[in-house]
Amino acid sequence: MEKKYIVRLSDTEREQLNEIVRKFSGSSQKVRRAQILLKADAEGPAWTDARIAEAFGCRTNTVENIRQRLVEFGFAQTLSGKQRAEPARPKCLTGDEEARIIATRLGKPPEGYANWSLRLLADKVVELQIAPKVSHETIRQTLKKTG
CB atoms within 10 A of CB 106: 8
User: Do residue 99 and residue 71 come from a single domain?
Assistant: no
- If one counts the domains in the chain, the total is 2
Q: Is residue 5 part of a domain?
A: no
Q: Is residue 85 part of a domain?
A: no
> Beta partners for 7?
41
User: Do residue 17 and residue 51 come from a single domain?
Assistant: yes
What is the reported pTM? 0.64
* pLDDT value of residue 146: 60
* pLDDT value of residue 78: 95
Q: For the chain, which ranges sit under pLDDT 50?
A: none
Q: Are 92 and 145 in contact (CB under 8 A)?
A: no
| Domain span holding position 129 | 95-146
User: Do residue 71 and residue 16 come from a single domain?
Assistant: yes
97 alpha carbon, distance to own chain's centre:
27
User: Do residue 68 and residue 16 come from a single domain?
Assistant: yes
